[in-house]
Amino acid sequence: MSDVNNLHDIGTLLNVICPMHAVVDHTGHIVHAGASTHKLFASGDALGARFLEAFELKRPRAATTMKDLRAMAGVKLHLKLRAAPRTELKGILVPLGKDTTFGPPGGAIINLSFGISVLDAVNDFSLTSADFAATDLAVEMLYLVEAKSAAMEASRKLNLRLQGAKVAAEEQAFTDTLTGLRNRRAMDHVLNRMMETEQDFALMNLDLDYFKAVNDNMGHAAGDYVLQRVAQIMVNETRSEDTIVRTGGDEFVLIFAGLTNRPRVSEIADRLIARLEEPIDFNAQTCRISASIGATLSCDYKMPALEQMMDDADVALYAAKDRGRGQHVLFDASLRGGDRVVAMPGR
């Protein structure tokens, strides 16, 4: 009877100081357990279970007998619940002497803790603050995890908003405000990327013809309106993957990604010129403009170089203007020689 009373006293003490403990006898069976230890068992009752049948000892090494278990006194034990949800636990063991009056002789006292698995364990075992010793930091850890998650979430939202603002700012910085087309900065960006990734493209320099007359005779409002209409036409006549840039007052650059077909470039140039020559009405007046185009294709170069291509597109553009405006010219090496001109009249 003294043994039982003694166990009762020890149990009462352990329940307060470490509610997730187990007292095992010399056969390795649990003879006393804290309230939290009971919760680990589906039945809600740990008493009578063989400790090593309920818990798998993973580190420092496996154990199958009470002797093995007792040999691991004072070192950190890594345990795992054999039953679902197979929760990982940490433990520490104190063996009891063969002749002790403190607990079952030849037994052991094992204190358990969840370690990092406490986050899942509180859900899995419906734990409350009362399941942890007042000195245990588990509840503080749960608090911290929730508090940090909430703070992180607020920071994440701020980051998203700042990122959105950055994208909008970049978008603006790459956009010509009058026409909504890309600006020169955007063009450099697009062309450099194409060169870096070795993508083929066709480069078209387009100058409006007779635009100065519209501006001079009908005023800047008419000029601005014409530029916006021009931008619209160019957007309509190209694909979404093409880039249209307003580089100056009435000067534009069009970049056609993946275009390697000379006749196709000619077709596009012709259609653009035809569409731009359609009369534009502004305040009961009619504006008439046209366009000259010089183009070059990256696939015509053994080693395409950006400066060379832009220069060649300009040479072609001036050749087109020389031929009397409203025309397009595809660059050809002979343009630089000055005798044979590869030109296809615009109309």
Size of the site for another protein (CB under 8 A): 26
* Of positions 158, 167, 221, 333, contacts another protein by CB under 8 A: 158
| Count of CB atoms situated within 10 Å of the CB of 191 | 19
Q: Which is nearer to another protein, 121 or 231 (CB)?
A: 121
Q: Which is nearer to another protein, 169 or 178 (CB)?
A: 169
Q: Which is nearer to another protein, 73 or 150 (CB)?
A: 150
Q: Among 113, 74, 67, which Cα is nearest to 94's?
A: 74
Q: Which is nearer to another protein, 138 or 289 (CB)?
A: 138
Distance separating alpha carbons of residues 207 and 313, to the nearest angstrom: 12
| Count of CB atoms situated within 10 Å of the CB of 115 | 16
H/E segment holding residue 343: strand 343-344
Distance separating alpha carbons of residues 342 and 347, to the nearest angstrom: 15
- Does 149 bind another protein (CB under 8 A)? Our answer is yes
Q: Which is nearer to another protein, 140 or 171 (CB)?
A: 140
Q: Two tokens at 147?
A: 């508090």
End-to-end CA distance of the chain: 117
Smallest gap from Cβ 85 to another protein, in A, equals: 13
Q: Among 119, 160, 175, which Cα is nearest to 142's?
A: 119
Q: How far is CA 288 from the centre of its chain?
A: 49
Q: How many residues are listed for the chain in this entry?
A: 347
Q: Among 138, 143, 146, 144, which Cα is nearest to 121's?
A: 138
| Count of CB atoms situated within 10 Å of the CB of 218 | 17
> Of 100-108, 109-117, 139-147, 272-280, which part binds another protein (CB under 8 A)?
139-147
Site for another protein in 8-67 (CB under 8 A): none
Smallest gap from Cβ 116 to another protein, in A, equals: 14
> Of 148-156, 264-272, 296-304, 315-323, which part binds another protein (CB under 8 A)?
148-156
Smallest gap from Cβ 141 to another protein, in A, equals: 10
Q: Which is nearer to another protein, 128 or 217 (CB)?
A: 128
* Of positions 148, 212, 264, 340, contacts another protein by CB under 8 A: 148
> Of 61-69, 80-88, 152-160, 260-268, which part binds another protein (CB under 8 A)?
152-160
Strands, E assignment, 66-123: 77-81, 88-95, 108-113
Distance separating alpha carbons of residues 1 and 210, to the nearest angstrom: 115
Residue 319 near residue 340 (C-beta atoms within 8 A): no
- Does 165 bind another protein (CB under 8 A)? Our answer is no
Q: Could you check whether the bond before residue 60 is cis, i.e. omega within 30 degrees of 0?
A: yes
Distance separating alpha carbons of residues 58 and 117, to the nearest angstrom: 15
> Of 90-98, 145-153, 319-327, 336-344, which part binds another protein (CB under 8 A)?
145-153
Site mask for another protein (CB under 8 A), range 192-211, x = bound: --------------------
Smallest gap from Cβ 11 to another protein, in A, equals: 22
* Of positions 130, 137, 165, 167, contacts another protein by CB under 8 A: 130
Q: Which is nearer to another protein, 131 or 242 (CB)?
A: 131
Q: Two tokens at 13?
A: 């003490």
Site mask for another protein (CB under 8 A), range 85-124, x = bound: ----------------------------------x--xx-
Residues binding another protein (CB under 8 A): 119, 122-123, 126-130, 139-140, 142-151, 153-155, 157-158, 161
